[in-house]
Structure 1
Amino acid sequence: MARVFTVLDLVQPDSLEEASQILFKKRNNTILGGCAFLKMGSKRIGTAIDLSKLGLSYIKEQADFIEIGAMASLRDVETNTLLRESFNGMLPKSVQNIIGVQFRNGVTVGASVYSKYGFSDLITALLALDTEVELYKNGRMSLAEFLGKPYEKDILVRLWIKKNKRLANYQSFRNSASDYSILNVAVSTLDDRWTIVVGARPRRAAIAKSASSTLSKENLTDKEIEDAAQKAAEELSFGTNMRGTADYRQALCRVLVKRGIMEVLQCKSK
């Protein structure tokens, strides 16, 4: 069966206010990202809203934050020097194996985050950092809060990532280099407060809060690391799809979380 999305009209607004007015005018009006995932399904769009004239394709450094515009591509994230030098290069690493370069050139950060895809590598990595999303209608909030809210029509304008000394590592397991993750994991620490995030479960990325809290100390032993990895696998839920079973993902979780913690500890020792 052929997959096709249909667009009845295409507009390029000159302001976010204009884009918002068009978006809310009719139920099936839609903001376009890079259209990469739209091409994989079937959808009828009344008016497609292209934000490319609004200057949102950027990654820049502010005094206390790294700011990423919604129209920046995954390839921009992968190649950006500032992101490569921040958080042990975790964000570029998280996207570098997604499908192929041409695909990553088309997928936008805003569409990836706003859609809350369960398979998203980028969301998993961002959730392990101090990330906020800025929405045109609903303002600024933490990424965790945004992910916990029900879907609501809005425009994701930009991301704000707090600049700090957080050490981080990203891990994923795939059937092949360019396939979707069977499971992905991001681990980070700041002032001995740890965050463990597991995504592609195949559900949406989530923080393993109990496991993270057990690591909030200095001089972790091998047993404490093993216990935290086991706890993460136990407190989160896993599902089965064509890429792997729930039991397989749970076993992978233990391995990838332990590996992520060990990689971060190596960064601390340097």
Structure 2
Amino acid sequence: MFTLRTVAQPDTLEAAYKLVTEKRNNTILGGCAYLRLGSQTIPVGVDLSKLGLQYITEHSSTIEIGAMTSLREVETHAAVKNCGAGLLSKAVANIVGVQFRNIATVGASVFMRYGFSDFLTALLALDAEVELVKGGRMSLIAFLDSPRTKDILTKVIIRKCNGHAAYQALRNSAADYPLLTVAVSRLDGKWRIAVGARPTRAKLAAQAAARLENAGQEITAAVTEEAARLAVSELPFGSNRRASAAYRQAVAETLIKRAIAEVAACK
């Protein structure tokens, strides 16, 4: 459990950013779902609840999700379910439990770059963008590849597109964190394969996706096998107390094949 010395509730993003960057250990308070897993002393906890960041707004070509939006809201929102073949809703539906999803926020799930994040894996397959107070708007890939800095993520932007997507994950139990996550999409004709919980954060398998695109419309069993093997070979896998690297590699190949086959079967 963490300890808070002081809680601040700024009225503007500028004031919130100033508070967060004043001291190294000052921390943003979202739903605090993940903070509770650790033990630390926080000089100033910055509560963003007064900044109007809890929303899901549908535009003509995009859907914007505010940083303080809960994963449960993402799971159940009609516009999100209709975007990207409902990939985001599918991905978060099995995270721990409804009570947890009611407090876990979009901002923390993305900004902290958790390796076990189902949400992050799905966002990569949707080619999402993020917006930050200092960093501005950028692709999710660029954000994940950038150095960690003190900033505030304000929203996630998802582009509306046509196509299909599939999500696969392996858990020891229904309410457990995943041992591995896989999201595969073919949206506006472009394939994407994202693999997370390796145990590091999700990453795209670019070579494997290129193989699928080169195959055209007919994705045979042989092409699926080859793409899955390519994905496993181009992505690094590691070991921790939950699973070995070899086990994750074997599981990844199977889950990727299943996800590709599911997407390819949709016409």
Distance in 2, matches of 1:174 and 1:265, equals: 25
Distance in 1, matches of 2:11 and 2:187, equals: 40
| Length-normalised TM-score, structure 1 | 0.96
Distance in 2, matches of 1:245 and 1:88, equals: 32
Instruction: Give the gaps of 5 or more residues in structure 2.
Output: none
How far 1:28 sits from its partner (Å)? 1.5
Q: What pairs up with 1:1-270 in 2 under 5 angstroms?
A: 4-216=1-213, 217-267=216-266, 269=267
* Contact kept in structure 1, 2:195 and 2:203, CA below 8 Å: yes
Distance in 2, matches of 1:166 and 1:135, equals: 29
Secondary structure class of the residue paired with 2:43: strand
Distance in 2, matches of 1:23 and 1:200, equals: 28
Name the stretch that deviates more: 138-147 or 167-176: 167-176
* Contact kept in structure 1, 2:127 and 2:158, CA below 8 Å: yes
* Contact kept in structure 1, 2:30 and 2:104, CA below 8 Å: yes
Distance in 1, matches of 2:194 and 2:244, equals: 19
How far 1:209 sits from its partner (Å)? 0.8
Q: Percent identity?
A: 55
| Length-normalised TM-score, structure 2 | 0.97
The one-character-per-residue Cα deviations of 1:219-253 (angstroms, maximum 9, x if unpaired) are: 12110111001111111111112221111110111
* Contact kept in structure 2, 1:129 and 1:166, CA below 8 Å: no
> Which segments of structure 1 move beyond 3 Å, counting only runs of 4 or more?
none
Instruction: Give the gaps of 5 or more residues in structure 1.
Output: none
The one-character-per-residue Cα deviations of 1:154-187 (angstroms, maximum 9, x if unpaired) are: 0000011011114211110111111111110000
Name the stretch that deviates more: 153-162 or 27-36: 27-36
The one-character-per-residue Cα deviations of 1:103-156 (angstroms, maximum 9, x if unpaired) are: 111100001100000110000000000200000011000000100111100000
* Contact kept in structure 2, 1:32 and 1:48, CA below 8 Å: yes
Distance in 1, matches of 2:90 and 2:60, equals: 24
Name the stretch that deviates more: 176-185 or 83-92: 83-92
The one-character-per-residue Cα deviations of 1:181-236 (angstroms, maximum 9, x if unpaired) are: 11100001134321110000001100011111000022121101110011111111
Distance in 1, matches of 2:84 and 2:203, equals: 19
